[in-house]
């Protein structure tokens, strides 16, 4: 990562509010907005069968800022993807949403998760719409195999946003929304500590790169000074050789001509 990128990331981390920041991300129409509404307990984020989220939208409640994103592969031009990716670099937790109805993760989802894992993002995989399928366990098993590249397996929680708003308390409990909330709450302090660690790491990287660049500039400066010194010495030697060289100029020895108007303009 370049120095400017490190500095931009550090600025974003420093400017971030003290609340825990949770980014909800995933492919379009996998239930991201519905999940967010279930998590905050109100209809704040728009849900529809057509793409609604075209920009980042956030909501803060109980010291947690929840952010809805346009979604992975939401538009052909990838403007939405780029917008969401900017947020992911500074979020404390990534809730990656995948609908069980879609079966296993597709190649784009796996590639995305590999990239986030490589960048050491804090990820929880949320399987949504579990009320619509009877194949939850088989799908989850396949997904776990897809994620075997992770040496430390990520948390996988299956939820039903639809059940979360049901009038019956037992059905609401089966939504597993509270399980997800409790998991996030239990790890909140640890994630905030990781944020501070990330800032410290970035500061050290920036300091190291600045010191390295200054060292390179000082070395270049010393090389230039050495080169100038050597050139000056060579020039002075040449001048001395010319002064000591006896030649006849209109019958006058060369040394007698030193200071003569013919040569004075040349510093002799």
Question: Could you tell me the domains of the chain?
Answer: 3-186 (3.40.50.300)
Averaged pLDDT, 70-87: 62
The listed range with the strongest mean pLDDT (42-51, 68-77, 197-206) is 197-206
- The CA distance from 35 to 125, in Å, is 12
**pTM of the predicted model as reported, rounded to 2 decimal places:** 0.67
* Residue 183 tokens, joined: 């998991």
Tell me, what's the pLDDT at 142?
Answer: 95
Please indicate whether residue 41 or residue 253 has the higher confidence score (pLDDT): 41
Is residue 65 within 8 A of residue 58, CB to CB? The reply is yes
The listed range with the strongest mean pLDDT (43-47, 124-128, 200-204, 252-256) is 124-128
pLDDT band at 240 (very low <50, low <70, confident <90, very high): confident
| Predicted confidence (pLDDT) per residue in 119-164, tens digit | 888 899 999 988 867 788 999 999 999 999 998 888 999 999 999 9
At residue 73's C-alpha, the angle toward residues 13 and 10, to 5°, is: 10
Tell me, what's the pLDDT at 268?
Answer: 47
Tell me, what's the pLDDT at 79?
Answer: 55
Which residues are 156's β-sheet partners? 125
Query: How far, rounded to the nearest angstrom, does the alpha carbon of residue 212 sit from its chain's CA centroid?
Result: 22
Averaged pLDDT, 8-33: 79
Percent of the chain residues past pLDDT 90, beyond the cut: 28
* Residue 237 tokens, joined: 């030697």
Q: How many CB atoms lie within 10 A of CB 176?
A: 20
Tell me, what's the pLDDT at 82?
Answer: 62
Averaged pLDDT, 18-31: 86
pLDDT tops 80 at residue 85: no
Tell me, what's the pLDDT at 84?
Answer: 62
Tell me, what's the pLDDT at 88?
Answer: 77
pLDDT band at 15 (very low <50, low <70, confident <90, very high): low
pLDDT tops 80 at residue 62: yes
- The residue count for the chain: 268
């Amino acid at each position: 990562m370049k120095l400017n990128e490190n500095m931009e990331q550090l600025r974003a981390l420093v400017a971030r509010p003290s609340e825990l920041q949770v980014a909800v991300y995933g492919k379009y129409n996998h239930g991201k907005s519905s999940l967010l509404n279930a998590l905050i307990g109100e209809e704040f984020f728009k849900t529809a069968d057509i793409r609604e989220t075209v920009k980042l939208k956030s909501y803060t409640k109980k010291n947690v800022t929840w952010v809805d994103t346009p979604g992975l592969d939401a538009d052909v031009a990838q403007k939405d993807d780029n917008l969401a990716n900017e947020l992911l670099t500074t979020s404390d937790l990534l809730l990656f949403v995948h609908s069980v109805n879609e079966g296993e993760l597709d190649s784009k989802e796996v590639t995305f998760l590999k990239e986030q894992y490589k960048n050491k993002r804090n990820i929880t995989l949320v399987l949504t719409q579990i009320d619509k399928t009877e194949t939850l366990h088989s799908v989850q098993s396949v997904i776990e195999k897809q994620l075997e590249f992770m040496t430390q397996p990520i948390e996988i929680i299956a939820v039903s946003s639809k059940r979360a708003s049901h009038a019956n308390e037992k059905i609401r409990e089966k939504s597993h929304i509270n399980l997800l909330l409790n998991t996030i709450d239990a790890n909140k302090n640890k994630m905030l500590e990781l944020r501070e660690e990330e800032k410290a790491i970035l500061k050290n990287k920036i300091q190291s790169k600045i010191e390295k660049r200054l060292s390179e500039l000082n070395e270049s400066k010393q090389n230039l000074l050495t080169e100038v010194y050597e050139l000056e010495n060579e020039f002075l030697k040449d001048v001395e050789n010319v002064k000591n060289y006896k030649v006849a100029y209109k019958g006058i020895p060369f040394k007698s001509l030193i200071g003569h108007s013919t040569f004075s303009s040349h510093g002799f």
